[in-house]
Structure 1
Amino acid sequence: MFEQELDPAQALLNRMRKLAEERGETRMDAARLARVQARKKQRGGQLPGSNKDSNAPDRDPRAIGDVVSRLSKSRGWNTQVAVGSVLGRWAELVGTNVAEHCKPESFEDTVVVVRCDSTSWATQMRLLSHEILKKFDAELGPGIVTVIRVLGPNAPSWRHGGRSVAGRGPRDTYG
């Protein structure tokens, strides 16, 4: 005879249980959990993996940040998340004053390219880059950003109109 096939919900539940076992999470039924809690209360101790203020088991809901960080680690997305974090939290990481004048343009291979709105801010950013790299290491993890390449403002175009002579430059414009 043919074996009776599992319904899709049961098959999904079995797959999730198998994945949890592979991650090292053990399944505990309600009766066993009650016995463990009773023993822990008698000893005055805590359950493994529980909060210090409560006797909550490890199966309690977790904060969304913890779940997302665990997911990104298991999928190997840490670097991509860090890239998005550098670009998204730029003002928080470097400070609002610096962020007003220096904007990140790109982030590739641990190099952040920053465009500043004046040459004085570009110089200031170059001087601050060592401290900012230390802060990136502390906030995002070591090795995520290793170089900050600072660019000054875009130079103005001296070409006005449809016709211009190539190679003559602005001449004695500044006196």
Structure 2
Amino acid sequence: MGSLRIRKSNLASASMIVQHLVNEHHWGPKLRNARVFESWAEIAGKDVAQYSHPVRLQGGVLVVAVTRSDWATSLKYMEPQLVANVNNYLGESLVSRIRVYVER
């Protein structure tokens, strides 16, 4: 049986190709948004994530939908901490505010 060996130079080349595609097709913002959406429970906490989910991130505003009006009120009070959590998770200050609405 042969073993699969991946050289560091091959990994570096693959990484460069992926980075080139991300840059060429302007996928960076979409990938960042996907990270927030996929990791919402980790960012906001499981209790909050049970009743809410991010809808979009655009122009520094994270739009979050909640299932009940009392959660909309709670998230508005939690906004400074949620903004900090998202920015810490992303490693950059992309979110300046959160807009919350109740899904119907």
Give the number of the structure whose alpha-carbon radius of gyration is greater. 1
- Cα pair 1:72 1:81 within 8 Å, conserved: no
**Corresponding position of 2:78:** 128
The change in CA–CA distance for 1:72 and 1:112 in structure 2 (over 3 A counts) is: farther
How many residues are treated as equivalent by the alignment? 94
**Corresponding position of 2:90:** 140
- Take 1:61 and 1:114, find their aligned partners in 2: how far apart are those partners? 37
**Corresponding position of 1:96:** 46
The change in CA–CA distance for 1:100 and 1:74 in structure 2 (over 3 A counts) is: closer
* TM-score when normalising by structure 1: 0.45
Question: Does residue 19 of structure 2 align to residue 71 of structure 1?
Answer: yes
DSSP-derived class of the 2:9 partner: coil
* Structure number with higher relative contact order (C-alpha < 8 Å, ≥ 6 residues apart): 2
- Cα pair 1:122 1:150 within 8 Å, conserved: yes
Over aligned residue pairs, what C-alpha RMSD do you find? 2.8
Moved over 6 A (4+): none
Structure 2 unpaired stretches of 5+: 1-6
* TM-score when normalising by structure 2: 0.70
Structure 1 unpaired stretches of 5+: 1-56, 155-175
Greater per-residue strand proportion? 2
Greater per-residue helix proportion? 2
Equivalent of 1:116 in 66, 77, 88: 66
- Cα pair 2:65 2:103 within 8 Å, conserved: yes
Identity of aligned residues (%): 22
TM-superposition CA deviations, 1:90-109 (whole Å, max 9, x none): 12211111001112222322
Alignment of 1:49-60 (within 5 A): 59=9
